[in-house]
Structure 1
Amino acid sequence: MSKKIAIGGDHAGFEYKKQLVAKLEELGYEVKDFGPFSDASVDYPDYVHPLSAAVEEGVFDQGILICGSGNGVAITANKHQGIRAALCWNEDLAALARQHNNANVLAIPARFVGYELAEKMASTFLSTDFEGGRHQNRVDKIACG
């Protein structure tokens, strides 16, 4: 059974998202695109909240959000108690977000990383396991609810 991945963002992340959906499907992931579906200006929370709720509810294994800086989508996603969205700009951060923080959503800053790096970060994030152990105690203390 392949991993189910939710992907979304805003207009600044649209081109990367379109390319990344195709790549992930080629690699065997089941991908749902939460939008947007063009590069026309949009309000990213309209896409981030439904994606985050679906990951939080376990409908999807992990999520990827792409916007200009990555900040807006990460901040919005992290309003959901069951989401641990990590803003990453290199592969090491993507790996550590999974290994140490059990992040379940990757936020990519499309205006600050090239597409090839974005693809590598997504691959690393999706293929890296949470280490658990001493990190589990810390992750258990993240949620406020």
Structure 2
Amino acid sequence: MADELTQRFIDALHSVEQQQDMETMTSLFSEDAELINAARNFKPQGQEGARQFWQQYRSAFDTIYSEFTSVKEGDGFAVLEWHGSGTRQNGQPLEYDGVSVIEHDGGHIRRFATYYDSSVFVGASEQGASGTKGGGSSS
């Protein structure tokens, strides 16, 4: 069972994905939070950076849903393995897997990093109707 902050993160991510609610997610981050998307070399900071981070994430998809396959927690951190599935903006299906790391102070996320195989996003327009599946991004 996920601790309270980790569960709030999972719930907020589903709100980002399903209702495009950025505010619930943004409120989980500290004012000096660091966010890292290694595949996109995107490293915003703070709550406004968190808002930009999650807006950019959600804008990559027409539909998206992340299923958490493993959640491991320790004192001040959580490691979440996930599988994302949905459709690109062009309607083509995609699936990908990744890992996200949360570091927190118990009340707010201080650092969030996500790692995934970005090949699912490279050449997405060239894949066209082939529906090629690969690895990708999420929470």
TM-score exceeds 0.5: no
- Give TM-score, length-normalised by structure 1: 0.28
Whose radius of gyration is greater, 1 or 2? 2
Q: By percentage of residues, which structure has more strand?
A: 2
Provide TM-score, normalisation by structure 2. 0.29
